[in-house]
Amino acid sequence: MSSGACRFCGKTFKKGGIARHIASCTARGDHGKGESTLEAFHRLVVTDEEEPDYWLHLLAVPEATLGDLDRTLRGIWLECCGHQSMFHVAREPFFSQSEGHFDTRMDRFPREAVIRYLYDFAFSTKLSIRRLEPVRHARTGEPIILAARNDPPLIECGCGAPEATLFSRSLLYESFDEAFLCPRCLPEFEGDPATLAPLTNSPRMGVRQYHRSELDREGDYPGFDETESMIRAFYLQSDTARVRSGDPAEREEIVQREMRVLGSVPVGADHFRTARFISSSLYVFAPLLRQLLLDTVDRWERTRQTPRDYAHVFALLLLAPVPDGELFVKLVPLFSRFEVIRAVWGDALQEPRVREPLWASLCLESPELLQEFVLQESTAAYLRYGAVNSLVTLYLEGHLERESLVPFLEELAARAVAKKNADLAGMVAAVGCTIYPEDLIRPIQRMHRAGLLDASGIDYLDNVRELLRRRTREEHLAETRSIGFFTLLRNAPAVLEEILSDPAMPAVRAPAADGQVAGAPVTDAPAVSPPTQTIVRDTPKVGRNAPCPCGSGRKYKHCCGKV
């Protein structure tokens, strides 16, 4: 069980005893003021839902609002990039982006009501807040006072040393046991030095660009500034620094070395290290990666030959953070049919959770290209559905206006009715449930009257509409974002390592073996019974939480995925 010090007397207590102490701490008292100046302050206990050893004890003035609490939590624990947040109290949601919501006073709610808090709908930090018996306290000029905070947790270095002082943001999600370092292990660190950061006493540590507490530096790990200086010195001696701002000849040597790694086979740890390195200096490598992809398109159109290495797969996913509509258009012939996707990209793009965020990222500044892709007759039905989901991602991320998305979906609904296409109708209805059913209710009704939607899909739509009677459009969209299904491709190196490290999911066909010609056209496997057999899917894999391809509007796991 974690411990923490009382900010009034300085004594340390276990998590279970600090609340009782704060209520009776004589050092807290009235700070030399008379009884008439004391008021009944709210007493709040804040705990991280996933890591309960992170906790805060707060005292809040009687008229404190949800906005006061939000600002305090951001300042001590959470703030990194100004993300949206929400409270959920007594079955009622309150959103930071909704006017007046955060002006609500905390004393409006029963004291026994548990307050749930969420910061950042994409990479969420979730907190639970309880209100205890109020205590009498004097005002300090601040609406909320920090009474106690957990001591910084002791974290072991990967070498076994008892106290790490820094960590790698990327390894935190890729190889947790190797993510934490002590000063002695820093010189042997082989990852991207730009991902290193000092440990922070926050459940937000390592998420996005969170750095440290702004309101309570006292509660952080000791030696934070010294650790930061040590990381900076290490960075300046690294290849990352040299490739970004070093001698041009030296930079060219490093770039060519890393590109050779991408083109080598088989894929191993060096490839993933290189992917992280390239991702950290993408602007240097982007022209080479882009040309590699254009060469892949040209070679496929001329020869229909399967690529013999994985470099093009790495190049495509690594370029995702660089919006490039022109590149997307060039690659459309390699995206439109399942058999081409499997031949060129292997299983790397068969996963909707990879393909759809990738398309949204590439078309970030030109969503109309995705719309054209959807309308092309040559686009396979399931890929058309994926492209529409990419458009929804851009809408939810704020890169596509409702005035552009809704008319486009209405056009798709009209096409479905004209061509009596039940699959297309089911797709439009499912997307309508995602963005806000009332925006598309008339087109959905027309498709239903045309007999294109089955009863289960309509029942699902009715249930969603009933739920939305208690929500505004903004609240519904915020809830949809919090699920995390519709996102841009943000961490390409991690995605690459996941899909290429899985032996059941080869990225491309095996490179040339004995007796075979490198880059030979794709052919069926010979009819020989091997010791073990790799099953290759003939249909695209659907995620369990993805909308069912049958068009019912339900999740795959609740529909066809039950089998």
Tell me which residue range forms the domain holding 17: 3-150
Indicate the residue type of 509. Answer: R
C-beta separation of 512 from 518 below 8 A: yes
Tell me, what's the pLDDT at 131?
93
Last residue of a domain, one of 237, 271, 293: 237
C-beta separation of 359 from 393 below 8 A: no
Confidence bin at 43 (pLDDT 50/70/90): very high
Would you say residue 56 lies in a domain?
yes
Q: Whose CA is closest to 415, among 394, 454, 388?
A: 388
C-beta separation of 104 from 96 below 8 A: no
User: Cα(94)–Cα(101) distance, rounded to whole angstroms?
Assistant: 5
Crossing angle of helices 381-396 and 367-375, rounded to 10°: 160
C-beta separation of 148 from 6 below 8 A: yes
Q: Which of 63-77, 240-254, 372-386 has the lowest mean pLDDT?
A: 240-254
pLDDT digits over 456-473, tens only? 767 777 777 777 777 788
Would you say residue 157 lies in a domain?
no
Would you say residue 296 lies in a domain?
no
C-alpha distances in Å from residue 154, one per residue of 17, 31, 125, 165, 375: 20, 34, 21, 9, 56
Residue 346: CB atoms within 10 A of its CB come to 21
Confidence bin at 535 (pLDDT 50/70/90): very low
User: Cα(412)–Cα(142) distance, rounded to whole angstroms?
Assistant: 54
Would you say residue 441 lies in a domain?
no
Mean pLDDT value across residues 275-301:
90
Q: What is the mean pLDDT of the chain?
A: 83
- Residue 505, classed as helix, strand or coil, is coil
Tell me, what's the pLDDT at 4?
94
Q: Above 90 in pLDDT, residue 70?
A: yes
User: Which residues are CB-contacts of 248 (< 8 A; sequence separation ≥ 6)?
Assistant: none
pLDDT digits over 140-150, tens only? 889 999 999 99
Mean pLDDT value across residues 437-446:
86
Would you say residue 60 lies in a domain?
yes
Strand partners, 14: 3
Tell me, what's the pLDDT at 536?
36
Would you say residue 221 lies in a domain?
yes
Instruction: State whether 24 and 137 are in the same domain.
Output: yes
Q: Which of 185-194, 273-282, 535-544 has the lowest mean pLDDT?
A: 535-544
Instruction: State whether 146 and 183 are in the same domain.
Output: no
Percent of the chain with pLDDT over 70: 87
User: Cα(447)–Cα(414) distance, rounded to whole angstroms?
Assistant: 8
The radius of gyration computed from the CA coordinates of the chain, to the nearest angstrom, equals: 27
Instruction: State whether 140 and 187 are in the same domain.
Output: no
Would you say residue 66 lies in a domain?
yes
Instruction: State whether 104 and 10 are in the same domain.
Output: yes
Would you say residue 44 lies in a domain?
yes
Instruction: State whether 121 and 181 are in the same domain.
Output: no
Exposure string over 464-494, b if 16+ CB within 10 A, otherwise e: beeebeeeeeebbbbbbbbeebbbbbebbbb
Instruction: State whether 181 and 105 are in the same domain.
Output: no
Last residue of a domain, one of 94, 124, 150: 150
Instruction: State whether 120 and 227 are in the same domain.
Output: no
Q: Above 90 in pLDDT, residue 238?
A: no
Q: Which of 185-199, 452-466, 467-481 has the highest mean pLDDT?
A: 185-199
Higher local confidence (pLDDT), 151 or 529: 151
Higher local confidence (pLDDT), 294 or 178: 294
pLDDT digits over 303-314, tens only? 988 888 889 999
Indicate the residue type of 118. Answer: L
The beta strand positions in 382-432, using DSSP E, are none
The number of distinct structural domains making up the chain is: 2
Instruction: State whether 177 and 120 are in the same domain.
Output: no
Instruction: State whether 133 and 8 are in the same domain.
Output: yes
Confidence bin at 166 (pLDDT 50/70/90): very high
Instruction: State whether 15 and 126 are in the same domain.
Output: yes
Q: Above 70 in pLDDT, residue 527?
A: no
Instruction: State whether 213 and 107 are in the same domain.
Output: no
Rounded to 5 degrees, what angle do the CA atoms 179, 182, 188 make? 75
Q: Which of 27-31, 147-151, 168-172, 330-334 has the lowest mean pLDDT?
A: 27-31
pLDDT digits over 197-227, tens only? 999 999 999 888 888 888 898 889 988 989 9
Last residue of a domain, one of 216, 237, 258: 237
Tell me, what's the pLDDT at 559?
57
Strand partners, 148: 6, 57
Tell me, what's the pLDDT at 504?
57
Mean pLDDT value across residues 78-93:
89
Q: Token pair of 359, please?
A: 């398309």
Q: Token pair of 234, please?
A: 């290490």
342's enclosing H/E stretch is helix 338-345
Q: Above 70 in pLDDT, residue 235?
A: yes
CATH code, domain carrying 89: 3.10.290.30
Q: Which of 116-130, 160-174, 242-256, 337-351 has the lowest mean pLDDT?
A: 242-256
Crossing angle of helices 422-435 and 455-468, rounded to 10°: 10
pTM for this predicted structure: 0.57
Instruction: State whether 138 and 106 are in the same domain.
Output: yes
Tell me, what's the pLDDT at 562?
44
Mean pLDDT value across residues 411-425:
92
Q: Above 80 in pLDDT, residue 175?
A: no
